[in-house]
Amino acid sequence: MKDVTAVQDLTAKTTSSRVSDTSVSRRFLKPFAGESLSPPPMWLMRQAGRYLPEYRATRKEAGSFLDLCYNPKLAAEVTLQPIRRYGFDASILFSDILVVPDALGQRVTFAEGEGPRLQPIREVAGLARLSLSNAGEKFAIVWETVARLRQDLPKDTALIGFCGAPWTVATYMVEGQGSSDQGEARGWAYRDPAGFAQLIDILTDASIAYLPGQIKAGADVIQIFDSWAGSLAENQFQQWVVLPTARIVAALKAAHPEVPIIGFPKGAAAQLQHFVAGTNVDGVSCDTSCPLGVMQAVAARGTVAQGNLDPLLLVAGGAALDRRVDEILDAMTGKRFIFNLGHGIVPETPPEHVAQLVNRVRRNG
């Protein structure tokens, strides 16, 4: 608890950028107030990234990927790049879900072209390396990026803050890298559920310390990324995805009831209604394999559905892209809906295909 208080003190010192904004009505937020818009608001996961030449240039200037995440000026710059090009309705803070383990003391590196590397934690004794009391310094750098963005973004562009969900962040901490089946984390959770719960609790507390600072600095919406939710059995999904997410949502709602929260339990379309009911999120991001009928059902029950174009169609472009965009719009227009991809933009995506997509969604082309 002492740890959490230290970070909360830092949060209190973050200058609030929200106050001057309350009169602005951002169209991105309207579906959360029950309005359906045509065309729907849109943004794209990983809209800032390697597919953009201007991102590659700034990334080079920054040095390593984490150097970019911890440089408020350059992180704000790459956040703005896709907004300048495409005028999306929302921008997402440029950072990474692995900033949280890094700030807790489990150092993260990104090997060029290979993804993240961490010194794995495989048992409860390894948790002694983690401490929330020192995390505030790195969190404060990210909050500064958010505050800069709120100043520099167009006033009608919403700003999304985020964190990784405890389960997904834990998989990287336990594996030490990305993995195809999250086997080490699932194994620990079965072998020693009480010990694994300690790791999940640390990450839940860290998220509850981290996200309010993003909101105070100017984030209008929070998204919680649970990219590996789909690898869990039903009872494990309840324990490691639904309950920790519900605790984060309850803590944010207690302090900031006006800020919508979007969950992204990737790969868990069959459990989507259960996830919504169990976590109290305001919206769900739906992956590419989620049927449009499931998204319609979620929206009909009062939750915003976001998604779910295949990022590979954005590489293919052409008539196939247009056809699927029209199918999604036909199914979701008139509902509480935000247009997005089912997962992040891949680096091979031609920027002109993103322009084609934006024109199609906005019925300009």
Active site residues: 46, 50, 59, 96, 172
Joined tokens for residue 244: 């920790």
Cα separation, 79 vs 53, in Å, equals 14
- Among positions 203-232, residues that touch ligand CP3 (CB under 6 A) are 225, 227
Joined tokens for residue 287: 């992956």
Binding characters for ligand CP3, 232-271, by CB under 6 A (x = yes): ----------------------------------------
Q: What is the dihedral of CA 170, 175, 179, 180, to 10 degrees?
A: -80
Asked whether position 116 contacts ligand CP3 by CB under 6 A, the answer is yes
What crossing angle do the helices spanning 2-13 and 193-217 adopt, rounded to 10°?
Answer: 10
CB 65 within 8 A of CB 115: no
Asked whether position 178 contacts ligand CP3 by CB under 6 A, the answer is yes
Specify whether the backbone of 237 is left (phi greater than 0), alpha (psi in -120 to 50) or beta: alpha
Joined tokens for residue 18: 């929200």
Asked whether position 167 contacts ligand CP3 by CB under 6 A, the answer is no
Q: Closest distance between ligand CP3 and the C-beta of residue 349, in Å?
A: 12
Asked whether position 65 contacts ligand CP3 by CB under 6 A, the answer is yes
CB 65 within 8 A of CB 95: no
Out of 32, 94, 210, 240, the only residue in the binding site for ligand CP3 (CB under 6 A) is: 94
Asked whether position 342 contacts ligand CP3 by CB under 6 A, the answer is no
Out of 62, 76, 90, 92, the only residue in the binding site for ligand CP3 (CB under 6 A) is: 92
Whether the bond between 39 and the residue before it is cis, its omega within 30 degrees of 0, is: yes
**Which residue of the chain is nearest ligand CP3 when measured via CB?**
227
Asked whether position 47 contacts ligand CP3 by CB under 6 A, the answer is yes
User: Residues interacting with ligand CP3, by CB under 6 A?
Assistant: 45-50, 59, 65, 92, 94, 96-98, 110, 115-116, 162, 164, 178, 225, 227, 344
